[in-house]
Amino acid sequence: MNGQVAARTTTWHLALGRLGDSQCTPLCALEVEGWRSTAEGGGAHGCRVWLTALPRSRPRLLRRSSAAHNHKEDRALNDDLPIRYIEPVYRPPSEADSLILPVTDGCSWNKCSFCEMYSPPHKRFRARDQAEVLTSIRLCGERLGDSVRRVFLADGDALALPTRSLMGYLSAIRQHLSAVRRVSSYCLARNLRKKSLQELRELRDLGLERVYLGAESGDDTVLARVNKGETFESTREALDKLGAAGIRRSVMILNGLGGVALSRLHAENSARLINATQPEYLSTLVVMLADGGARYRERWPDWQPLGQDGLLAEMEMFLSALELRRTIFRADHASNWLVLKGTLGADKARLLQQVRAAITRPEAAPLRAAWMRGL
């Protein structure tokens, strides 16, 4: 079923999220205020979420999805949510309650061999028309009022935009959606090279509170093999600049990205990157290749994936090497076999105990069933 609810109802793509569970378990249905939500972990970092309107519910705030939808036509939303979405739309699990506001489409890099999130032709990178975005913000303010507390700037690369454009959007959010307390976005390290520390501080002052940066790995060999376009040093510089600007950083590491051959280097150097930057938030996801790894192996022919035991062993190496003062840690994405939550370093011993118990006695550990990881 690929993440869709089997029901005789109309399926709607999420715009104003109400999933509430950052775990984002595939095929996990939740009924909230007349809606049934279905979450599917998708791509390298994001979740795709559907809402199915229950009988008697009124499908407001969302655009109807059609199997015959032509992405090139870019149909407008319904009258209740004046935002144009190009499907699929991704957002981090922790943005489940946010208004998703596209200011760009796609990803400006879009060359990572492990990521299929923005590979369809209709998701090629481009900036949204400024007048369209500003109109959407104004109309959302008129129709949603104080109900919106968080806004996520989509698609995969909002900070690729010029600072002046971003400042205009943030100012409009402040003007028309005055109850918003947090604005966030994905971020590529490369795009911060074009922005000064002062520019980032100005964005923070206008409400950009958090960015999600997919470091993926701290090992330069792994980063080169997967065509990330970054290095340990370029990622460190970006994270340090964000921290100096007062923007909270949520960093993502992909468990298993180095395969069997580079697992130890991947774990140790990823920990070294996190130790050097001390981000406010850290999450780990398991690399899962949508096409069975064909695209991945074009650049890395002898790459061999880690099994469950190898992934847990790599996680143990990674956690053991971390020396953090106060970082909120989550390994609760749908791709993870073992759900881990805590604050590092206060909970380091407890988290390591959980991982080591799963390694020595997997049959007794609270591991996810394989079908629950069917992204």
Instruction: Kindly report the CATH number assigned to the domain that includes residue 256.
Output: 3.30.750.200
**Assigned domain for 262 exists:** yes
Cβ contact 104:155 at 8 Å: yes
Q: Which of 74, 106, 76, 77 is closest to 90 using CA atoms?
A: 106
- In Å, how far from its chain's centre is CA 182? 16
Would you state the structure tokens that stand for residue 242, as one six-digit string? 């964000």
Residue 79 confidence (pLDDT): 47
Per-residue model confidence as pLDDT tens for the chain (375 residues): 233 222 222 233 334 433 333 333 222 222 223 333 334 444 555 555 333 322 322 223 333 333 333 333 334 434 468 999 998 898 998 899 999 999 999 999 999 999 888 888 899 999 999 999 999 999 999 999 899 999 999 998 899 999 999 999 999 999 999 999 999 999 999 999 999 999 999 999 999 999 999 999 999 999 999 999 999 999 999 999 999 999 999 999 999 999 999 999 999 999 999 999 999 999 999 998 877 778 888 889 999 999 999 999 999 999 999 999 999 999 999 999 999 999 999 999 999 999 999 999 999 999 999 888 855
In a domain, 274, yes or no: yes
The token pair that represents 291 in the structure block? 């096409």
Rounded to whole angstroms, what are the CA distances from 93 to 21, 25, 223, 288, 332? 8, 10, 24, 17, 9
pLDDT at 375: 55
Q: Is residue 350 part of a domain?
A: yes
Q: Is residue 330 part of a domain?
A: yes
Please indicate, yes or no, if residue 86 is contained in any of the structural domains. Answer: no
Tell whether 171 is covered by a domain: no
| Angle at alpha carbon of residue 38, lines to 34 and 44, rounded to 5° | 145
Listed residue (28, 191, 31, 179) closest to 98, CA to CA: 179
Pairing of strands 327-331, 281-286: parallel
Q: Is there a domain that residue 318 lies in?
A: yes
At 45 the pLDDT is 58
User: Can you read off the two tokens belonging to residue 153?
Assistant: 């700037």
Cβ(264)–Cβ(233) below 8 Å = no
Residue 268 lies in domain = 213-363
Into how many domains does the chain fold? 1
**Cα 104 from Cα 20, distance rounded (Å):** 25
For residue 89, which phi and psi values (nearest 5 degrees)?
-110, 130
Instruction: Please check whether residue 52 lies inside any domain of the structure.
Output: no
For residue 308, give the H/E element and its range: helix 308-321
